[in-house]
Amino acid sequence: MVEFLLAALFVTLVWFFSTGGILWLNRLPRELHQGAIVAAIPAAAAAFCGHLVAASETGPAAAYLAFASAIVIWGWHEMSFLMGFVTGPVRRPLRADETGFRRFLASAGTLIHHEIALALTLAAMAAMTWGAPNQVGTLTFALLFAMRLSTKLNIFLGVSNLSAELLPPHLGYLRSHFRVAPMNPLFPVSVLASVALLLHLGAKAEETGAALLFTLACLGLVEHLFMMLPVRDADLWRWAVPRLGETEREGR
């Protein structure tokens, strides 16, 4: 139980502070963004090395190293997207005549380059550690990727709480691609899939790697629930973005 609680605390702290840190970096003046993303490249490279090294070990330390490495790699990708370097060919608001499948194509075009980059990274991480005893790093990145896809599809179909104020002004055009709705047909499927995954991981939670993934999946489920609850989850990040409310008004 102690090992599980330590793993849960570790994941929660990493999730909370890494998300806040990326949001803070993204609110730096635009002229500093290029330097920030370049400065983060050595950290991402070191994380790939950590991912490879940890894959050959099976102890708790290796599980933590693999998990942390995947988070750093994921964080670098998130910076590249939120800073506007890797998004998609569509960088404009949704047009009034873009409905149905045309809306899907336009919305997908706003972030398709980033999704491809994530998929290629996941493939590279899997190839690097294929057949290795420790797959925590690859599974962590795969879980993050799956949760991201689910989140984006739910936002596209419609959710009641968008938290669009977290978007920086230079990505303000994305707001028009979102939809506000009390429910959508994918959301219950996403929740049920998350619960099924939690039950699977929970049965193995005495293992450090499974405990790390279990906690991350819990946080992913909570983030999904926030999309439908009348609760502003963006308030969690006011310590990192003090002018969050002002930024929301500027982006309108």
Q: What tens digit of pLDDT does each residue of 100-150 get?
A: 999 999 999 999 999 999 999 999 999 999 999 999 999 999 999 999 999
* Res 89: pLDDT: 97
Number of domains in the chain: 1
Taking the whole predicted model, whether its pTM rises above 0.95 is answered as no
Total count of residues recorded for the chain: 252
Residue 209 to residue 67: CA distance in whole angstroms: 8
Residue 103 to residue 51: CA distance in whole angstroms: 38
DSSP 94: P
Residue 143 to residue 34: CA distance in whole angstroms: 28
Residue 157 to residue 183: CA distance in whole angstroms: 9
Residue 142 to residue 162: CA distance in whole angstroms: 24
* Res 244: pLDDT: 60
What would the mean pLDDT of 14-43 be, rounded to a whole number?
92
The token pair at 49 is 């090395």
Residue indicated by tokens 């909370």? 16
Residue 4 to residue 240: CA distance in whole angstroms: 28
Which range marks the domain in which residue 28 is found? 2-250
pLDDT greater than 80 at residue 189: yes
- Let me know: does 15 contact 216? Beta carbons within 8 Å: yes
Taking all residues of the chain, what is their mean pLDDT, rounded to a whole number?
92
